[in-house]
């Protein structure tokens, strides 16, 4: 009854890409044995920015929730890590994960307030919420109040160990956050998220639990932000409310996502690289550097909405993380739907299904254009 078909979810050269990716990760893992400690520090810092941006992208780019208050969870992750490490004596590296978890859990009640607002109001409302957290922490003397405090839990650990463990952890978090977002978007739930972004009303009428989905994304994004926060302050030893809950975290995340291209996994990745390069070469210009970043974000938004990667994708059809499902029929009729291309080997061994049957089907043009996710 059904035509036999195959669903292609990979890209050509996927295996090669995967190999390159793995090689890069492998190289990165070995860095502590041959690299300088300043490189590790730099990586940890950029990793924190990247994870944070990735989560912001998930929330704003896919979930349509534009928040300027994600620093709330960044700070909470950091402070939770500090409390667990300093007062409860938990290993700070374990505390990073627990702190992120705490941030994710706190996001659930917080969403009840934040979701009262939409669009621009949501954005500023979340900022107010972040301020509430900042002021609350600033008024708790146990964690140093407004002046902040030092992470004493790390003092016993040797410098080299501390540096490499922090570095590996950051690396693992980067890979994990890419993986998490990628597999999430490839899953059935990812489909629902895309549907919500495109049309909330229709998504609801197709059985998608819109409210729950948004909450889940919000909580996951908070978890990621908390992770970035914990990681950052483990690398810094000192935390203060102003640093932890600074709106700059979100500002830089927005910058990276907008430059790289919002609503695509490659966006924050490209954005983080650009940001790192700009930071490296221009950050000495201080205020002028920041003015430049601001202007760049403005210009990109007005004239170049899809970002660098979005442009590449439109122009050359580049994709690193294929999440789309392309239907290919198992017939080679000249009039067929899609020529059965030698579809690239599946990048991650996702099953490509084949079902037998063999109806001929209608004529039609050859839609092989790729499109933006």
Partner 1 sequence: ADTVKIGYVSPQTGPLAPFGEADKWVIEQMKTAFKDGIVIGGKKHVVQIVLKDSQSNPNRAGDVANDLILKDKVALILTAGTPETANPVSDACELNEVPCISSVVPWQPWFFGRKGHPATGFNWTYHMFWGLEDVITSFTNGWMAVATNKKVGALFPNDGDGNAWGDKELGFPKPLSGMGFSLTDTGRFQNGTQDFSAQIAAFKKDGVEIVTGVVIPPDAKTFLTQARQQGFKPKVITLGKALLFPGAIEALGDLGDGLSTEVWWSPSHPFTSSITRQSAKDLSEAYETTTKKQWTQPIGFTHALFEVACDALKRSKSLKPGDVRDAVASAKLGTVVGDVAWGGKGPFKNVSKTPLVLGQWGKGKKYKYELTIVNNVSAPRIPLGGTLRLL
Partner 2 sequence: METLLQGLLLGGLYGLFALGLSLMFGVMRLTNTAHGDFIILGSFSTLALVGAGLSPVMAMLVTLPLAWIVGYALQRYVLNGTLGKDPLPSLVVTFGLSIVTQNLLLELFSADPRSIETNGLNALGWSITPDLSVGVLPMIILALAIATTAGLQWLFNHTALGRSFRAVSDDREIAELMGLNARKVYAMATALAFVLVALAGALQGMRTTVAPSDGPLLLLFAFEAVIIGGMGSFWGTLAGALLLGVTQQVGFRFDPGWGIWGGHLMFLAVLVLRPQGLFPKTRG
Partner 3 sequence: MPLLALHSVSKSYGALKVTDSISLSVQKGETLGILGPNGAGKTTLFNLISGDASVNAGRVEYNGEDVTALPPHLRCRRGMGRSYQVPQPFGNMSVFENLVTAACFGGGQTERAAWDTAVQVLDQTGLMPQANKPAGSLTLLNRKRLELARALATGPQLLLLDEIAGGLTEHEAHELVEELQRIKASGVTMIWIEHVVHALLSVADRLFVINFGQKLAEGKPHDVMNDPEVQRVYMGMEV
**Using the rule CB under 8 A, is 139 a contact of partner 1?**
yes
Rounded Cα distance, 308 and 304, in Å: 8
**Using the rule CB under 8 A, is 146 a contact of partner 1?**
yes
Residues 151-180 within binding reach of partner 1 (CB under 8 A): 152, 154-155, 159
Q: Would you say 41 or 326 has its CB closer to partner 3?
A: 326
Q: Tell me, by CB under 8 A, how many residues bind partner 1.
A: 27
Q: Would you say 91 or 352 has its CB closer to partner 3?
A: 352
Nearest C-alpha neighbor of 87 from the set 165, 157, 146, 142:
142
Number of Cβ atoms within 10 Å of the Cβ of 175: 15
Nearest C-alpha neighbor of 102 from the set 125, 131, 82, 130:
82
Rounded Cα distance, 182 and 185, in Å: 5
**Using the rule CB under 8 A, is 194 a contact of partner 3?**
yes
User: Residue 187's binding partner, choosing from partner 3, partner 2, partner 1, none, with beta-carbon cut-off 5 to 8 A by kind?
Assistant: partner 3
DSSP state of 360: -
What are φ and ψ of residue 67, in 5° steps?
-110, 140
**Using the rule CB under 8 A, is 132 a contact of partner 2?**
yes
Nearest C-alpha neighbor of 254 from the set 25, 69, 9:
69
Work out which of 157, 251, 312, 350 binds partner 2, going by CB under 8 A: 251
What are φ and ψ of residue 36, in 5° steps?
-90, 155
Secondary structure of residue 329 in the 3-state scheme: strand
Contact 271, 187 (CB under 8 A): no
**Using the rule CB under 8 A, is 192 a contact of partner 3?**
yes
**Using the rule CB under 8 A, is 23 a contact of partner 2?**
no
User: Residue 290's binding partner, choosing from partner 1, partner 3, partner 2, none, with beta-carbon cut-off 5 to 8 A by kind?
Assistant: partner 2
Rounded Cα distance, 92 and 166, in Å: 10
Work out which of 55, 65, 80, 138 binds partner 1, going by CB under 8 A: 138
Helix 159-186 to helix 14-29 angle (10° resolution) is 160
Number of Cβ atoms within 10 Å of the Cβ of 118: 12
**Using the rule CB under 8 A, is 148 a contact of partner 1?**
yes
**Using the rule CB under 8 A, is 144 a contact of partner 1?**
yes
* Beta strands 238-239; 326-329: pairing state: unpaired
Distance of closest approach, residue 154 Cβ to partner 1, in angstroms: 8
User: Residue 103's binding partner, choosing from partner 3, partner 1, partner 2, none, with beta-carbon cut-off 5 to 8 A by kind?
Assistant: none
Secondary structure of residue 7 in the 3-state scheme: strand
Residues 301-330 within binding reach of partner 2 (CB under 8 A): 301-302, 305
**Using the rule CB under 8 A, is 84 a contact of partner 1?**
no
**Using the rule CB under 8 A, is 213 a contact of partner 2?**
no
**Using the rule CB under 8 A, is 359 a contact of partner 3?**
yes
x/- letters, 34..63, toward partner 2 (CB under 8 A): --------------------------x---
For residue 322 the two structure tokens come to: 């294929």
x/- letters, 299..338, toward partner 3 (CB under 8 A): -------------------------xxxx-x-------xx
- Can you name the residues that pair with 103 across neighbouring β-strands? none
**How would you label 129-150 residue by residue, b for 16+ Cβ within 10 Å and e otherwise?**
bbeebbeebbeeeebbeeebbe
| Choices 148-156, 287-295, 337-345, 363-371 (CB under 8 A): range interacting with partner 2 | 287-295
User: Residue 301's binding partner, choosing from partner 2, partner 1, partner 3, none, with beta-carbon cut-off 5 to 8 A by kind?
Assistant: partner 2
Distance of closest approach, residue 238 Cβ to partner 1, in angstroms: 4
**How would you label 303-323 residue by residue, b for 16+ Cβ within 10 Å and e otherwise?**
eeebbbbbebbeeeeebbbbb
**Using the rule CB under 8 A, is 354 a contact of partner 3?**
no
Interacting residue ranges for partner 2, rule: CB under 8 A = 60, 66, 68, 112-113, 116-117, 119-121, 123-125, 127-129, 131-132, 135-136, 138-139, 146, 247, 251, 254, 258, 262, 287-288, 290-291, 293-295, 297-298, 301-302, 305
């Amino acid at each position: 009854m059904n035509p036999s078909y195959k669903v292609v979810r990979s890209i050509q050269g996927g295996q090669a890409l995967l190999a390159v990716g793995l090689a890069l990760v492998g190289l990165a893992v070995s860095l502590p044995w041959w690299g300088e400690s300043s490189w590790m520090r730099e990586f940890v810092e950029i990793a924190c920015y990247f994870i944070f941006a990735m989560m912001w992208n998930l929330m704003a780019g896919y979930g349509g929730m534009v928040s300027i208050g994600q620093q709330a969870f960044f700070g909470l992750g950091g402070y939770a890590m500090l409390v667990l490490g300093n007062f409860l004596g938990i290993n700070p590296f374990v505390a990073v994960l627990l702190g992120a978890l705490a941030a994710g859990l706190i996001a659930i009640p917080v969403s009840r307030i934040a979701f009262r607002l939409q669009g621009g109001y949501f954005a500023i409302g979340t900022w107010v919420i972040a301020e509430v957290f900042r002021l609350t922490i600033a008024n708790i003397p146990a964690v140093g109040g407004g002046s902040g405090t030092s992470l004493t839990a790390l003092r016993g650990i040797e410098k080299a160990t501390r540096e490499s463990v922090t570095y590996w952890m950051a690396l693992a978090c980067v890979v994990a956050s890419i993986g998490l977002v990628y597999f999430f978007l490839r899953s059935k739930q990812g489909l629902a998220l895309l549907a919500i972004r495109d049309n909330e009303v229709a998504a609801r009428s197709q059985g998608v639990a819109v409210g729950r989905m948004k909450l889940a994304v919000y909580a996951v994004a908070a978890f990621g932000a908390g992770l970035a926060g914990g990681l950052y302050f483990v690398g810094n030893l000192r935390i203060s409310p102003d640093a932890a809950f600074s709106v700059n975290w979100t500002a830089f995340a927005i910058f990276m996502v907008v430059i790289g291209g919002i609503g695509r996994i490659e966006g924050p990745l490209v954005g983080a690289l650009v940001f790192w390069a700009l930071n490296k070469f221009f950050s000495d210009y201080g205020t002028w550097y920041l003015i430049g970043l601001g202007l760049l974000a403005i210009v990109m938004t007005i004239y170049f909405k899809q970002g660098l990667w979005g442009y590449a994708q439109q122009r050359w059809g580049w994709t690193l993380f294929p999440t789309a499902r392309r239907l290919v029929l198992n017939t080679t009729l000249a009039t067929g739907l899609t020529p059965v291309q030698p579809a690239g080997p599946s990048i991650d061994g996702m099953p490509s299904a084949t079902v037998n049957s063999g109806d001929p089907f209608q004529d039609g043009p050859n839609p092989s254009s790729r499109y933006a996710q």
